[in-house]
C-alpha cells in the first residue's frame, strides 16, 4: 500500500522526537497502519542546527506555508507553537488545501480551536491534537472515543509538569519557591521566563481544551479562573503536611447547578488521595462519567518521547482513515453552557495570617469570618511572642468563595494583620 507522506513544521525537541520515533518504530507502525509513514518534508528556521535525527532524505522549506503547499505532503504536522503567526498561517493553509492536520499546539487550540475545528470539518479533514494536553497521556482520545457513551460530570488534573516538579521538590526538601524554580530552570524543566507555566496559563489552555471535549461546549478560555503557584511558600507546604494535605496545581472543570465551572489554582488535597502522590514532572487526569464512574490516567506530561508518542498516535489514526470531530461533537452541535463563576465555589479553605501577637486578635479575625458565615474548623498557632509577628493557621468548613473573599478583605484591613492573608482552597473530593 502507498505510504502516508507527512511534513513536519518545527524541529525542536518534539519535532526531532517525532522523526526519531518514525524511524525507530517503522516496522511496527507499518503493521498497525497497514502502510508506511514517510517523512518527505520539513520546515525549520535553522538548517544548520545539529539535531539528533537523520534528515538527509527530506525536502526543506524555509516558509512554513510552503510545507502545506508542497504537493508531496499529504498530512501537515504543526510543532511550531504559539496561537498566531507561523503556526496559525500553516494550519489555515493546510485546511485550505484539505490536508489533515496533527498538532501539539495547546495555545493554538485554546485560542483558535473553535474556528479551526469548524473549518476542518467543512473541509472534510482530520484535525488532531492529542499531544496538546498531558504529553503522552491519551486523554483527548479517551474523552472523544473511549468515554463517548458517558455524560461527563467532572474532569480535573495535574496538567503542568514544571509546576508539579517545583511543588514536589519544595514538599520533599523544604526549600523556598524561588530556589526550586532556579533548579527547574537549570535542569530544563522551566523556561528562562517561566511565567507561562508558573502563573497557570499553560494549565488553563489545557483545561479549556479538556472542558470543550468533555462537555461538548465551545472552547472558552476567557471563562477559566487562573491562579499560579508563585504565592505558595515552603511554610504553607509544611503546614499542609501537618494538616494531612499536599499542595498541587490543579485544573478543574465540572458541571454545577450554576453552569460550567473552570478553574486553575493551587489546591490542598488529602495525603490519602491518589493525586497527592503524582510527583515530579508527571501529569494525571481524572474523569468522572455517569456510567463508567471514575477513570484516572497518569504519565509523563512533557518531553520528546511522550509528546512524540501522542503526535505519532494521531498520525496513525490518519493513516488508518479514522476521523472524529475535533472537539468530540460536530462544530454545529457544540452547545454553550452558562459560566459558573469562582465566587460560587462551595468548599473548605486554608488560611495563613501573619499577625501581631496580642490579646483580642483571634477574636477580631473570628468576627470577620462570622459576619460572612464562614465557620472555622481548626486553628493552629505555634509558640508565643507577645507584641511580635506570629503565624496563625486556620481551616474552614465548606463556605461560599464570595463570602470568604469578603471576610479576607476585612481581615486584611485589621491593624494587627501584618501582611496579606494567604488562602489556599481545600479540595476534599479530588
Write the pLDDT tens digit of every residue in 291-333: 999 999 999 988 899 999 999 999 999 999 999 999 999 999 9
Q: 159 and 242, same structural domain?
A: yes
What confidence tier does 47 reach under pLDDT thresholds 50, 70, 90? confident
Q: 15 and 127, same structural domain?
A: yes
Q: 253 and 164, same structural domain?
A: yes
Query: What's the grid cell of residue 213?
Result: 471535549
Q: 119 and 184, same structural domain?
A: no
- DSSP letter at 190 equals S
- The per-residue pLDDT of the chain, averaged, comes to 95
Final residue of a domain: which of 276, 311, 342? Answer: 342
Q: Is the dihedral of CA 15, 221, 130, 303 positive or negative?
A: positive
Tell me which residue range forms the domain holding 408: 345-426
Q: 169 and 35, same structural domain?
A: no
pLDDT for the residue numbered 333: 97
Average pLDDT over residues 114-142: 97
Write the pLDDT tens digit of every residue in 337-388: 999 999 999 999 999 999 998 889 999 999 999 999 999 999 998 767 777 8
pLDDT for the residue numbered 45: 84
Q: 380 and 362, same structural domain?
A: yes
Q: 127 and 179, same structural domain?
A: no
CATH code for position 154: 3.30.360.10
Percent of the chain with pLDDT over 70: 100
What is 313-357 written as a DSSP string? HHHHHHHHT----TTSS-GGG-----B--GGG-EEEEEEEEEEE-
Residue 152's closest CA among 238, 222, 61, 254? Answer: 254
> By the 8 A CB rule, do 355 and 416 touch?
yes
Helix (H, G, I), strand (E, B), or coil: what is residue 184?
helix
pLDDT at 54 over 90: no
pLDDT for the residue numbered 382: 77
Residue 324 within a domain: no
CATH code for position 379: 3.30.70.260
Q: 119 and 224, same structural domain?
A: no
Residue 329 within a domain: no
What confidence tier does 50 reach under pLDDT thresholds 50, 70, 90? confident
pLDDT for the residue numbered 189: 82
Final residue of a domain: which of 103, 132, 161? Answer: 132
Residue 38 within a domain: yes
Write the pLDDT tens digit of every residue in 387-412: 788 999 999 999 999 999 999 999 99
Write the pLDDT tens digit of every residue in 255-293: 999 999 999 999 999 999 999 999 999 999 999 999 999
H/E segment holding residue 262: strand 259-270
Rounded to an integer, what distance in angstroms lies between the CA atom of residue 15 and that of residue 26? 16
Report angle CA 291, 257, 250 to the nearest 5 degrees.
Answer: 70
pLDDT at 49 over 90: no
pLDDT for the residue numbered 252: 98
Residue 350's closest CA among 265, 286, 418? Answer: 265
pLDDT at 52 over 90: no
Q: 27 and 117, same structural domain?
A: yes
Percent of the chain with pLDDT over 90: 90
Residue 308 within a domain: no
Residues with a known catalytic role: 206
Q: 161 and 115, same structural domain?
A: no
Residue 175's Cβ-count burial label (10 Å; 0-12, 13-18, 19+) is middle
Q: 164 and 28, same structural domain?
A: no
Q: Which residues contact 46 (CB under 8 A, 6 or more apart)?
A: none
Residue 316 within a domain: no
Average pLDDT over residues 69-86: 96
CATH code for position 71: 3.40.50.720
Final residue of a domain: which of 314, 342, 370? Answer: 342
Query: Is the entire prediction scored with pTM above 0.85?
Result: yes
Q: 239 and 166, same structural domain?
A: yes
Provide the domain count of the chain.
3
pLDDT for the residue numbered 80: 96
pLDDT for the residue numbered 262: 98
pLDDT at 428 over 80: yes
Amino acid at each position: 500500500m502507498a505510504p502516508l507522506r507527512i511534513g513536519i513544521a518545527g524541529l525542536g525537541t518534539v519535532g526531532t522526537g517525532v522523526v526519531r520515533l518514525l524511524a525507530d518504530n517503522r516496522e511496527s507502525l507499518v503493521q498497525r497502519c497497514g502502510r508506511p509513514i514517510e517523512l518527505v518534508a520539513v520546515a525549520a528556521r535553522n538548517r544548520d542546527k545539529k539535531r539528533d535525527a537523520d534528515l538527509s532524505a527530506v525536502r526543506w522549506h524555509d516558509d512554513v506555508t510552503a510545507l502545506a503547499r508542497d504537493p508531496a505532503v499529504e498530512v501537515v504536522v504543526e510543532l511550531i507553537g504559539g496561537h498566531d503567526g507561523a503556526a496559525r498561517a500553516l494550519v489555515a493553509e493546510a485546511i485550505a488545501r484539505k490536508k489533515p492536520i496533527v498538532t501539539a499546539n495547546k495555545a493554538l487550540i485554546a485560542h483558535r480551536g473553535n474556528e479551526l475545528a469548524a473549518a476542518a470539518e467543512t473541509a472534510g479533514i482530520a484535525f488532531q491534537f492529542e499531544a496538546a494536553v498531558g504529553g503522552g497521556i491519551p486523554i483527548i482520545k479517551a474523552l472523544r472515543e473511549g468515554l463517548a457513551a458517558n455524560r461527563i460530570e467532572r474532569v480535573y488534573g495535574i496538567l503542568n509538569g514544571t509546576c508539579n516538579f517545583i511543588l514536589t521538590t519544595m514538599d520533599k526538601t523544604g526549600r523556598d519557591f524561588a530556589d526550586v524554580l532556579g533548579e527547574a530552570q537549570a535542569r530544563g524543566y522551566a523556561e528562562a521566563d517561566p511565567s507561562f507555566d508558573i502563573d497557570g496559563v499553560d494549565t488553563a489552555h489545557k483545561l479549556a481544551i479538556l472542558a470543550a471535549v468533555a462537555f461538548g461546549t465551545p472552547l472558552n478560555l476567557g471563562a477559566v479562573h487562573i491562579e499560579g503557584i508563585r504565592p505558595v511558600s515552603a511554610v504553607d507546604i509544611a503546614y499542609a503536611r501537618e494538616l494531612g494535605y499536599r499542595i498541587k496545581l490543579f485544573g478543574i472543570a465540572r458541571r454545577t447547578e450554576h453552569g460550567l465551572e473552570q478553574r486553575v489554582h493551587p489546591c490542598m488535597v488529602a495525603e490519602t488521595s491518589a493525586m497527592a502522590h503524582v510527583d515530579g514532572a508527571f501529569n494525571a487526569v481524572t474523569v468522572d462519567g455517569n456510567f463508567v464512574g471514575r477513570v484516572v490516567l497518569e504519565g509523563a506530561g512533557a518531553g520528546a518521547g511522550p509528546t512524540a508518542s501522542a503526535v505519532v498516535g494521531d498520525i496513525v489514526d490518519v493513516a488508518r482513515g479514522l476521523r472524529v470531530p475535533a472537539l468530540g461533537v460536530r462544530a454545529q452541535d457544540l452547545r454553550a453552557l452558562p459560566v459558573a463563576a469562582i465566587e460560587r465555589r462551595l468548599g473548605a479553605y486554608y488560611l495563613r495570617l501573619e499577625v501581631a501577637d496580642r490579646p483580642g486578635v483571634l477574636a477580631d479575625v473570628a468576627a470577620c469570618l462570622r459576619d460572612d458565615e464562614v465557620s472555622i474548623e481548626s486553628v493552629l498557632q505555634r509558640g508565643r511572642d507577645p507584641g511580635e509577628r506570629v503565624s496563625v493557621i486556620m481551616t474552614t468548613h465548606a463556605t461560599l468563595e464570595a463570602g470568604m473573599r469578603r471576610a479576607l478583605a476585612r481581615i486584611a484591613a485589621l491593624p494587627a494583620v501584618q501582611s496579606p492573608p494567604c488562602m489556599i482552597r481545600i479540595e476534599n473530593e479530588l
